[in-house]
């Protein structure tokens, strides 16, 4: 790999840092939602929380579905600025809600919708600054930054909630942070434009005429690609694992009766264990054979599934941290080290579209789980919920192993959509 220039390093830092800040909103929103249920003036019950999470997940899936084409058209960096503006505005609106209703649902869903396009925006922006040989590592570092952002949101959110003592003040504080981050990124883009009027080459606009005119043809090609279906199936099963962080505060509160600071710390450990796993996998997997790569990821995901089954037995508090680390660390490489690089290579100028689309089924599944959590809790408690997550991870591991077997036999080198 060619060494990166100073400007590329600055670009990576700016984009990854902004994406991390944007993604941290999701963790902070989960903590705010937990405290909202304690606010008697809001009269929000657990059933209302399940409905909010389910509808918020639908908004997240719609953001994935619609965000990809928009990012392809507008560019990744500009889209990231718009996302930070939407997140800050929705948090400020949510903080001013006086009761459960359309306003609360609208602001909650808007935040989820905006968060959905964070990774797509970051990935497409990185494609414009890094060559094919350096892109895979840049994407891995971008994924690491987002996972750190999720941990940052849990830690800072828990701290702010304990200090400010109100979910409303937590949301307003976060709105201020998001506004500042968006403004800094906007100023950076303005400075780049003034120094280089042509700007970086936007690979997202290099669509051939037929692909640009016929989205149907693009989707038809995708439908005839078995390995894309396998990758979609794997992602569908694994994606809800990381959405579990939205339920984790409630689980820790219900089962272990923890305070907000302790809940924030443990919730932060869940996404915080993903970056080291992604970096380790990114460094080691290219050095092993295709069969060794498939076996390594299969073992890691199996450990993640077993950790879910361990949590379902409600272990002693000292076992919570190892279990959460294993769940996140075991599943993260399967999402961060295989799909992004392959989709960028195979999708080519349609990468934004497929980067968004491939997450949609998983987010719809997570939405279904959110809507069923109150019923599952009544039927079998958290044991039933956690076992469901464990089964999903196991199925996702099998789909990914089959994808890697096909890819090893016939590697993907070119995009069918390239001009």
Q: Give a yes or no: residue 187 inside a domain.
A: yes
In a domain, 24, yes or no: yes
pLDDT band at 172 (very low <50, low <70, confident <90, very high): very high
Determine, yes or no, domain membership for 419.
no
| Cα→Cα distances 35→162, 163, 195, 207, 285, Å | 10, 13, 47, 47, 42
* CATH number, domain with residue 101: 1.20.1250.20
The residue among 15, 346, 317, 340 whose CA lies nearest residue 149 is: 15
3-state secondary structure of 7: helix
Q: What is the mean pLDDT of residues 159-170?
A: 86
Half-sphere exposure at residue 244, Cβ-oriented, CA atoms within 13 angstroms: 28
Work out the average pLDDT over 230-240.
88
pLDDT digits (tens, 9 = 90+) for 322-352: 888 888 888 888 876 777 778 877 887 777 7
Residue 247 lies in a domain: yes
Q: Is residue 229 part of a domain?
A: yes
pTM, 2 dp: 0.67
Position 417 in a domain? no
Please give the tally of structural domains in the chain: 1
d(CA 255, CA 88): 32
Q: What is the pLDDT of residues 365-388, one digit of tens each?
A: 877 887 788 888 888 889 999 999
Task: Read off the pLDDT of residues 260-317 as tens digits, 9 standing for 90 and up.
Answer: 778 877 877 776 777 788 878 877 877 788 888 888 889 999 999 999 999 888 888 8
Domain that holds residue 376: 6-409
- Is 50 exceeded by the pLDDT of residue 410? yes
> Which pLDDT band, with edges at 50, 70 and 90, does 207 fall under?
very low
Q: Is residue 415 part of a domain?
A: no
d(C-alpha 318, C-alpha 312), whole Å: 15
Query: Each residue of 79-112: b (16+ CB within 10 Å) or e?
Result: bbbbbbbbbbbbbbbbbebeebeeebbbbbbbbb
């Amino acid at each position: 790999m060619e060494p990166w220039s100073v400007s590329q390093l600055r670009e990576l830092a700016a984009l990854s840092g902004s994406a991390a800040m944007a993604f941290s909103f999701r963790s902070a929103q989960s903590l705010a939602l937990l405290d909202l249920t304690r606010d008697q003036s809001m009269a929000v019950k657990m059933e209302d929380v399940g409905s909010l999470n389910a509808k918020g997940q639908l908004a997240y899936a719609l953001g994935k579905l619609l965000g990809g084409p928009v990012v392809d058209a507008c560019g990744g960096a500009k889209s990231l600025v718009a996302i930070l503006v939407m997140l800050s505005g929705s948090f400020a609106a949510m903080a001013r809600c006086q009761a459960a209703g359309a306003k609360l649902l609208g602001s909650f869903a808007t935040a989820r919708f905006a968060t959905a396009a964070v990774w797509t925006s970051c990935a497409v922006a990185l494609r414009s600054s890094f060559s094919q040989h350096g892109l895979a590592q840049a994407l891995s570092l971008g994924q690491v930054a987002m996972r750190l952002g999720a941990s940052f949101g849990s830690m800072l959110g828990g701290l702010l909630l304990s200090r400010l003592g109100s979910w409303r003040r937590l949301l307003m504080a976060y709105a201020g942070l998001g506004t500042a981050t968006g403004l800094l990124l906007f100023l950076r883009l303005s400075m780049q434009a003034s120094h280089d009027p042509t700007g970086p080459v936007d690979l997202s606009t290099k669509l051939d005429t037929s692909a640009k005119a016929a989205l149907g043809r693009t989707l038809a090609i995708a439908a005839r690609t078995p390995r894309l279906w396998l990758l979609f199936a794997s992602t569908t099963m694994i994606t809800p694992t990381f959405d579990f962080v939205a339920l984790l505060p409630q689980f820790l509160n219900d089962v272990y009766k923890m305070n907000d600071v302790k809940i924030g710390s443990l919730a932060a450990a869940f996404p915080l264990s993903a970056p080291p796993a992604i970096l380790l996998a990114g460094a080691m997997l290219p050095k092993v054979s295709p069969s060794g790569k498939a076996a390594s990821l299969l073992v890691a995901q199996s450990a993640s599934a077993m950790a879910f089954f361990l949590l379902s037995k409600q272990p002693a508090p000292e076992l919570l941290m190892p279990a959460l680390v294993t769940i996140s660390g075991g599943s993260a490489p399967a999402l961060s080290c295989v799909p992004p690089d392959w989709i960028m290579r195979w999708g080519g100028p349609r990468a934004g579209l497929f980067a968004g689309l491939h997450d949609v089924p998983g987010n719809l599944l997570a939405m279904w789980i959110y809507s069923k959590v109150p019923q599952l809790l009544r039927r079998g408690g958290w044991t039933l919920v956690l076992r469901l997550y464990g089964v999903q991870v196991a199925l996702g591991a099998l789909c990914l192993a089959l994808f890697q077997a096909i890819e090893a036999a016939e590697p993907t080198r070119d995009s069918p959509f390239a001009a």
